[in-house]
Amino acid sequence: MTDDVLDHSRRKFFHFGAAALFASLTTSHAMAQSVSNKLKIGVIGSGHIGGTIGGLWVKAGHSVLFSSRHPEELKPLTDSLGPLAKAGTVGDALDFGDVILVAVPYKAIPELAKDYGPKFAGKIVIDPANAVARRDGEDLLKETKEKGIGATTESYLKGSHVVRAFNSMSYTHFVKEAHRAGDPMAIPIAGDDERAVQVASQLVRDAGFEPVAVPLARAQEFAQGGPLYGQQLTGKALRERFGLAK
Ligand SMILES: NC(=O)c1ccc[n+]([C@@H]2O[C@H](COP(=O)([O-])OP(=O)(O)OC[C@H]3O[C@@H](n4cnc5c(N)ncnc54)[C@H](OP(=O)(O)O)[C@@H]3O)[C@@H](O)[C@H]2O)c1
């Protein structure tokens, strides 16, 4: 399962690839799910996960500001998505979004807190970041295991309402399975703030999946290494695995 950091050339390739993907997606299903509550979403880290999930939200009618430390590299992605997609800096994404997707290597979360801390207060943060020792460091991985990964993100991004989501499998499955025919693929999500969980659930549906929500502490069960990591299940099967009422 690929879950690695991209170097610049690979990232550029991904953006062109994503452009082709979104241009070729038949939008009928996604657009038919017209979003009554259109949101302003800031994406921090517009790589595999940020580009894919943010793109699905644009297709569903949300306004998305994709950000990068090199925003000029995002033009192929935003051009392919049309006027609801904009590119900017990380600060622009935080100013723009009521909801922020932090699709960055986990070690970037403390860095974002240091550089932009107060801007996260009051935001709904959707967190797909996995902590991986070789990339993010043993200490941070240990911290996520001891405190719980959702609580760790919340402890850095103070005042935000964190919902863990879209972390449990490769982005390639999100590309392939969004809005599939028949039972949608389930996405486990975890959060404690009721409104944030409601908004995140709607965004999971708008992306073409079925949300199955548990409290933030249970994010460990679908964190990398957890029993539900990598599982592609229907909503019914995932609720059973969580031991939730059907
Ligand atoms: N790839 C997957 O299939 C997958 C699946 C589930 C979860 N995840 C998790 O999702 C997160 C993103 O993974 P990805 O595969 O999408 O990575 P990626 O393609 O490498 O994209 C990550 C982006 O994060 C940005 N970034 C890195 N350090 C940053 C910092 N200090 N401040 C701001 N932005 C920073 C980079 O953007 P700029 O250089 O343009 O600023 C980069 O494009 C990771 O935590 C990963 O473990 C990935």
Average pLDDT, the chain: 90
pLDDT tens by residue, 77-116: 999 999 999 999 999 999 999 999 999 999 999 999 999 9
Q: What CATH superfamily is the domain 8-242? A: NAD(P)-binding Rossmann-like Domain (3.40.50.720)
Angle at 147 between CA 134 and CA 105, to 5 degrees: 35
For residues 197 and 144, give the distance between their C-alpha atoms in angstroms, rounded to a whole number: 21
Is the CB of residue 223 below 6 angstroms from any atom belonging to ligand 1? no
For residues 149 and 188, give the distance between their C-alpha atoms in angstroms, rounded to a whole number: 14
- Kindly provide the b/e burial profile for residues 204-229, where b requires at least 16 CB atoms within 10 angstroms of the residue's own CB: bbbbbbbbbbbebebbbbbbbebebb
Angle, helices 108-116 vs 149-156, to 10°: value is: 20
14 pLDDT band, cuts 50/70/90, is low
Distance of CA 162 to the CA centre of its chain: 11
Is the CB of residue 64 below 6 angstroms from any atom belonging to ligand 1? no
Top pLDDT among 22 and 73 is at 73
What is the maximal distance between C-alpha atoms in the chain?
Answer: 47
Q: Can you tell me which atom of ligand 1 is nearest the CA of 48?
A: 16
Half-sphere exposure (Cβ direction) of 204: Cα atoms closer than 13 Å:
27
Question: How many Å lie between the centroid of ligand 1 and the Cα of residue 128?
Answer: 9
Q: Can you tell me which atom of ligand 1 is nearest the CA of 168?
A: 6
Is the CB of residue 88 below 6 angstroms from any atom belonging to ligand 1? no
Q: Which of 16, 48, 156, 232 to mutate to test the pocket of ligand 1 (most atoms within 8 A of CB)?
A: 48
For residues 7 and 74, give the distance between their C-alpha atoms in angstroms, rounded to a whole number: 14
Given this model, what pLDDT does residue 37 score?
Answer: 84
pTM, to two decimals:
0.91
Is the CB of residue 150 below 6 angstroms from any atom belonging to ligand 1? no
Is the CB of residue 49 below 6 angstroms from any atom belonging to ligand 1? yes
Domain boundaries, the chain: 8-242
Question: How many Å lie between the centroid of ligand 1 and the Cα of residue 103?
Answer: 5
For residues 173 and 230, give the distance between their C-alpha atoms in angstroms, rounded to a whole number: 10
Residue located nearest, by CA, to atom 25 of ligand 1? 45
Are 105 and 129 spatial neighbours (Cβ–Cβ below 8 Å)?
yes
Given this model, what pLDDT does residue 18 score?
Answer: 54
Residue located nearest, by CA, to atom 37 of ligand 1? 45
Given this model, what pLDDT does residue 31 score?
Answer: 42
Least confident of 19-23, 145-149, 217-221, 233-237: 19-23
For residues 94 and 116, give the distance between their C-alpha atoms in angstroms, rounded to a whole number: 8
Question: Both tokens of residue 104?
Answer: 């960055």
Distance of CA 60 to the CA centre of its chain: 15
Least confident of 29-33, 111-115, 136-140: 29-33
Half-sphere exposure (Cβ direction) of 145: Cα atoms closer than 13 Å:
12
pLDDT tens by residue, 154-189: 999 999 999 999 999 999 999 999 999 999 999 999
For residues 60 and 20, give the distance between their C-alpha atoms in angstroms, rounded to a whole number: 18
For residues 59 and 40, give the distance between their C-alpha atoms in angstroms, rounded to a whole number: 13
Q: How far is CA 127 from CA 34, 49, 228, in A?
A: 24, 11, 17
Is the CB of residue 113 below 6 angstroms from any atom belonging to ligand 1? no
Q: Which of 7, 12, 49, 56 to mutate to test the pocket of ligand 1 (most atoms within 8 A of CB)?
A: 49
Question: How many Å lie between the centroid of ligand 1 and the Cα of residue 49?
Answer: 7
